[in-house]
Amino acid sequence: MNALDGLKQRIASKTAVVGVYGLGYVGLPLALRFSEVGIKVVGFDIDESKVTRLNNGKSYIERLQAQEIIAAQQNGFEATSDFSRTQEVDALIICVPTPLNVYREPDLSYVENTLASILPYFKAGQLLSLESTTWPGTTEEILAPALKSQGFIPGENCALVFSPEREDPGNTTYSTKDIPKVIGGMTPNCLELGTQLYQHAIKQMVPVSTPRAAEMTKLLENIHRAVNIGLVNEMKIVADKMGINIHEVIQAAATKPFGFVPYTPGPGLGGHCIPIDPFYLTWKAREYGINTRFIELAGEINHYMPRWVVQKVADALNEKEKAIKGSKILILGLSYKKNIDDTRESPAVEIMALLEEKGAQIAYSDPHVPVFPSKRDYSFDLDSVELSAAHIASYDCILIATDHDAFDYGQLVQHARLIVDTRGRLQPAENVVSA
């Protein structure tokens, strides 16, 4: 029996131990799902505060309750920052960020650093899966050579797959187990082992021919959204100049039973995928002499939207004979979409920075984000403020950046001096301006 035969038996019997590397919005739900079906999970993270909270039975992600962490612990789940424990697991699943650098080029440092921490303890008979979104070729060009340099040959004495995450924070219809799982393996044997592992936790597997196909699948999904959001954001700008309510137009167009998919404009793109992933493909395409003009144009439009919003705030204040400089402006909603606590790449944060640069006095209110989180590019020493009638009336402008359902919009309209609404939540009124 070779090493992979033993791995196959452990996966089939659910005695294989899963290691999840990166316990954020992707890794932690996946770890809890494997635990839920009775598979032991060791979670790895370099953030000691996350490790401590999890091992104390506490959650740091709003939608994941402490009871879920405790239930996972009863099935053997534990968190650690000790990467030497890689020797204890059978399957290694990497779920770390893949952001852009200052030049808007792919930054694989989190993947590469995780791989460097794993390799000294990697052993024959283990399966490595990358879930982090990346450019087509990453698995074959970076992970496979790294394994081979240590004597590990995918399909012979180890397995290597790419299976992109498809998490959608705040989606109550599709949880981790319900979202079909795309997977591509370096060899047919790798694909079989990866599929057998994931199908314990995921209802439907979608095998594809290669890791490159799986990597491209994830990019296509997110570029599809980015391009269509760019289109509707541009339509919003045109409609605004023409005095047309774009939200009314979208609702009317959506009544067509075929040939139209409604997308909603907003203050810009946010989240862990949509603002970033298109640039992974545009960067890689240049290696093949291809300029992805359509994708890059959509990116330009979406990247411009926070500045568009700031200009709308300036225009609205000007109508009240006020300037941005010195005005008290309250940002409603810090997360990148409503009813969640995820602020990654949130346009609300960039809007705050732009307004502050212009001299505004900034505050924010978000029931899902009580304290402004630590970020690489932005720093605000702010806590979420409570919304009362008197407090609402004290601001020169209230900007709806994220339309959480928890906000009392009737109270806002009744007491606010000026509201700039980027989400189409309110009907235009004397004190309500669409942006």
Give the catalytic positions in this structure. 273
Backbone angles phi and psi of 338, in degrees to 5: -75, 150
**372-380 contacts, C-beta under 8 A, 24 or more apart:** 372/334, 373/343, 375/343, 375/349, 378/349, 378/350, 378/352, 378/353, 380/352
Burial of 300 (0-12, 13-18, 19+ CB in 10 A): exposed
Alpha-carbon span 332 to 402, nearest angstrom:
6
Backbone angles phi and psi of 21, in degrees to 5: -105, 110
CA angle centred on 110, ends 119 and 282, rounded to 5°: 120
Alpha-carbon span 5 to 267, nearest angstrom:
52
Answer yes or no: are the C-beta atoms of 208 and 187 closer than 8 Å: no
Alpha-carbon span 76 to 392, nearest angstrom:
48
Strand ranges (DSSP E) for 116-202? 127-130, 159-162, 181-185
At position 274, the amino acid (one-letter code) is: I
Phi-psi region of 271 (alpha: psi -120 to 50; beta: other; left: phi over 0): left
Question: Comparing C-alpha atoms, which of 116, 99, 112, 85 is closest to residue 20?
Answer: 85
The β-bridge partners of 391 are: none
At position 288, the amino acid (one-letter code) is: Y
Token code pair at residue 261 = 């998919």
At position 364, the amino acid (one-letter code) is: Y
Alpha-carbon span 107 to 171, nearest angstrom:
28
Burial 123-162 (b: 16+ CB within 10 A, else e): eebbbbbbbbbbbbebbbebbbebbeeeebebbebbbbbb
Helices (H), 288-423: 293-319, 347-357, 389-393, 409-415
Greatest Cα pair distance in the chain:
81
User: Helix 277-287 to helix 211-241 angle, to the nearest 10 degrees?
Assistant: 120
Q: What sign does the dihedral 259-261-267-268 (CA atoms) show?
A: negative
The β-bridge partners of 433 are: 420
